[in-house]
Amino acid sequence: MNRGRTLLPAPGVDERLARLATPDPKRFWAGVLFGVLSAAAAIGLTWASAYLISASALRPPILTLMAIIVSVRVFALGRASFRYIERLLSHDAAFRMLGRLRVGVFERLIPGAPANLSHLGRGDLMSRFVSDIDDLQDLPLRVWQPLLTSLLVSAVTTALLALISPMAGLVLALSLIGAAVLGGVLPERATSARTRDAAPVRAAQNEHMLRMLESMDVLTAYDALPQAQREAQSLARRQSVIDRSRAATQGLVDLCLTGFTGIAVIGAIWAGGTDLQAGAFPGSWLAVLVLVPMTIFDVFSQVPTAMTAIEKVRVASHRIGAVIDDGRRLNGGADDAGSGAGADGDAGAEPAPQADERASAFASLQLRDVSIGWPGAAIIAEGIDLDLRPGRRVLITGASGAGKSTLAATLVRFLDHRSGGYAIDAQDVRDLGGDRVRRVVGLCEQRPHLFASTVRANLLLAQPEAEDDLLLAVLRRVGLNDLIESREGLDTVVGENGQLLSGGQVQRLALARALLAEFPVIVFDEPTANVDPELADELLVDLLAIAGTHGSTRDGQAAAVVLMSHDRVPSALVDEHLHLADGRLTRVDAVEQA
């Protein structure tokens, strides 16, 4: 990893993303160099052409013009060639940076998920991860490179014109400064509020569209589709207002540039004519003084665009940075702002665990006086004590909303505990980091997520190198013999979120995935919530019996099992029964039985 690499961050860009939003220096500066050469060739072409035309009008010997004729050809070929090379280099650098940026942001989101994402809708999250990250690539491509190229070429060309006519050079310099202020700085400040509003409106549109598509049948059945369409139209009108405001501002910027171009040309005619009458230079140079400022402003037109892009980049960086704080903290508090790629643009975050790291050695898990709750919300439960050892099976019951799912999320460190102590093998989980905690504690959720693929593909997520024989053995172990024999076996398509399977089959497949991962601790969160009541008792018994079997972990120990449920199970299947109610976790014998 190259932690020392920095490159002109835009003002206000979140420092946690500055390194990720930095292209490879060699490719970036090579792009700037060829951009300068291309712009210089364009100005040189105008310069040489203007001089050639005016000089030819005096009918000099053709041999005296050969050098300028050749220079016209050189500048014409150089302009196109340098431009092509600059596009290749600058876009290559930007796309490599974009790939590293997406991977880096994703790696920073994962450790804190879902706690750091709970307040975001899927449409908003998609907008941040797609559109906002796309906006960040504008930093090198549409901010720094155009600014550096335009300012450098404009300054050098103005200085050269000033050698011919100081007054014409001064008029051109003042025109460029005026264009930069009135066409760049002021519009950027005037449209900053609109730019800040654009991203949230875009996110709201994405969120609303996703909800409409997912619930189209319900909206149609209850005749609520017209209302949803009106809301979509309202969001579209808000977006239209922003777009019209941007278009109007761009029109004013173009008008401003055109006006200052005219001022520079008229000033060059006046100043050049005055100097010509005084004999300061030959008459053929007057065409150069008049025509070159037009080409300079064509190059300089990138400056206002770059100025308005700065606010867009700044907004995007803050929106992305707002959701990665918790991820960095839950991953052990490491400062991964500098973790990025090396010169090749490869992601430089912590490598994925190898197969032999999937399950760590486990001796004990302890919670002492722990309080839990989601970020920005009140504490749900406090004073929680829990002890787990290999093979121990704990049942935690409680009514819906009592905090069982919150406790499950805390155990796998999707969510940080508010206070108290949480340790695995006598090590504080905050020192271990979220990834290492989740190598020990696995979660089978109330609604396990299954990808719209095959049984095999969903199982290989837990152990990518597993052979089919092992996968089939695990499926039989969790009681999915019917799925193997009556359907397509490992090639059975499960559908989106397991829609083609029954609720019990989904839970058993989730258990099979957990067994393949060989978690020393398995947490089940309401596994019978989506299962037919007549099958719920059988499923609970099987889950406890199978998950806690001796030899279910890599080191041959029995996994510790925590079962969150509002249902009761036979006392012989559990070692401890706890009840969560009124913000407290107590032993079941201390709870009044119904």
Residue whose tokens read 């929106």: 319
Q: Which domain holds residue 530?
A: 357-590
**Of the given ranges (211-220, 511-520, 547-556), which has the lowest mean pLDDT?**
547-556
Q: Is residue 218 part of a domain?
A: no
Please check whether residues 136 and 264 belong to one and the same domain: yes
**CA angle, 436 then 448 then 354, to 5°:** 30
CA distances for 419 relative to 316, 367, 373, 416, angstroms: 33, 10, 10, 9
Please check whether residues 324 and 370 belong to one and the same domain: no
Two structure tokens written together for 219: 């909206």
Please check whether residues 323 and 390 belong to one and the same domain: no
pLDDT over 90 at 144, yes or no = no
The pLDDT value recorded for residue 157 is 92
Please check whether residues 296 and 368 belong to one and the same domain: no
Q: How far is residue 435's CA from residue 360's CA, in Å, rounded to a whole number?
A: 11
Q: How far is residue 265's CA from residue 249's CA, in Å, rounded to a whole number?
A: 24
Element (H, E) at 444: strand 441-444
The pLDDT value recorded for residue 59 is 82
CA distances for 555 relative to 336, 352, 518, 551, 558, angstroms: 32, 21, 9, 7, 9
Ramachandran region of residue 329, left (φ > 0), alpha (ψ -120 to 50) or beta? alpha
Please check whether residues 266 and 382 belong to one and the same domain: no
Q: Domain of 380: which CATH number?
A: 3.40.50.300
- Tell me the mean pLDDT in the region 165-180: 91
Please check whether residues 175 and 48 belong to one and the same domain: yes
- Which pLDDT tens digit goes with each residue over 99-113? 888 888 887 777 666
Q: Is residue 124 part of a domain?
A: yes
- Which pLDDT tens digit goes with each residue over 71-81? 999 999 999 99
Cβ-defined contacts of 574-579 (< 8 Å, 24+)? 574/393, 574/394, 574/395, 574/544, 575/392, 575/393, 575/394, 576/392, 576/393, 576/394, 576/395, 577/394, 577/395, 577/397, 578/386, 578/394, 578/395, 578/396, 578/397, 579/396, 579/397, 579/398
Q: Is residue 44 part of a domain?
A: yes
pLDDT over 70 at 127, yes or no = yes
Q: Which band of pLDDT confidence, cut at 50, 70 and 90, is reported for residue 185?
A: confident
Q: How far is residue 443's CA from residue 228's CA, in Å, rounded to a whole number?
A: 36
* Rg, Å, the chain Cα set: 33
Q: What is the rounded end-to-end Cα distance, in angstroms, of the chain?
A: 60
Q: How far is residue 59's CA from residue 353's CA, in Å, rounded to a whole number?
A: 78
Q: Is residue 490 part of a domain?
A: yes
**Of the given ranges (127-131, 376-380, 404-408), which has the lowest mean pLDDT?**
127-131
Domains in the chain, number: 2
The pLDDT value recorded for residue 88 is 94
DSSP string, 36-59: HHHHHHHHHHHHHHHHHHHHHTT-
**Of the given ranges (174-183, 325-334, 469-478, 479-488), which has the lowest mean pLDDT?**
325-334
Q: Is residue 582 part of a domain?
A: yes
Please check whether residues 365 and 284 belong to one and the same domain: no
Segments in 184-224 forming alpha helices (H):
186-190, 192-214, 216-221
- Tell me the mean pLDDT in the region 351-361: 45
Q: Which band of pLDDT confidence, cut at 50, 70 and 90, is reported for residue 369?
A: very high
Residue whose tokens read 């008459």: 283
**Of the given ranges (166-170, 241-245, 363-367), which has the lowest mean pLDDT?**
241-245
Two structure tokens written together for 95: 């796309």
- Which pLDDT tens digit goes with each residue over 249-308? 888 888 888 999 999 999 999 988 888 888 888 888 888 888 999 999 988 888 888 888
Two structure tokens written together for 519: 């978690």
Residue bearing the bigger pLDDT, 474 or 192: 474
pLDDT over 50 at 349, yes or no = no
The pLDDT value recorded for residue 112 is 65
Segments in 322-454 forming alpha helices (H):
325-330, 404-411, 429-432, 434-440
Give the end of a domain, one of 330, 349, 381.
330
Cβ contacts of 318 within 8 Å, gap of 6 or more = 12, 14
Q: Domain of 45: which CATH number?
A: 1.20.1560.10
Segments in 301-442 forming alpha helices (H):
302-321, 325-330, 404-411, 429-432, 434-440
Contact at 8 Å (CB) between 413 and 443? no
The pLDDT value recorded for residue 25 is 87
Q: How far is residue 152's CA from residue 35's CA, in Å, rounded to a whole number?
A: 11
- Tell me the mean pLDDT in the region 13-42: 86
Task: List 370's β-bridge partners, or say none.
Answer: 384
Q: Is residue 5 part of a domain?
A: no
Cis peptide before 520 (omega within 30 of 0): no
- Tell me the mean pLDDT in the region 383-390: 91
Q: Which is it for strands 441-444 and 584-587: parallel, antiparallel or unpaired? A: unpaired
The pLDDT value recorded for residue 528 is 74
> Whole-prediction pTM value?
0.67
Give the end of a domain, one of 263, 295, 330.
330
Please check whether residues 323 and 378 belong to one and the same domain: no
Please check whether residues 321 and 377 belong to one and the same domain: no
Q: Is residue 348 part of a domain?
A: no
Please check whether residues 405 and 525 belong to one and the same domain: yes
pLDDT over 60 at 3, yes or no = no
The mean pLDDT value of the chain amounts to 81
The DSSP output letter for 144 is I
Q: Is residue 489 part of a domain?
A: yes
Please check whether residues 86 and 179 belong to one and the same domain: yes
Please check whether residues 270 and 361 belong to one and the same domain: no
Which percentage of the chain shows pLDDT scores above 70?
86
Give the end of a domain, one of 268, 295, 330.
330
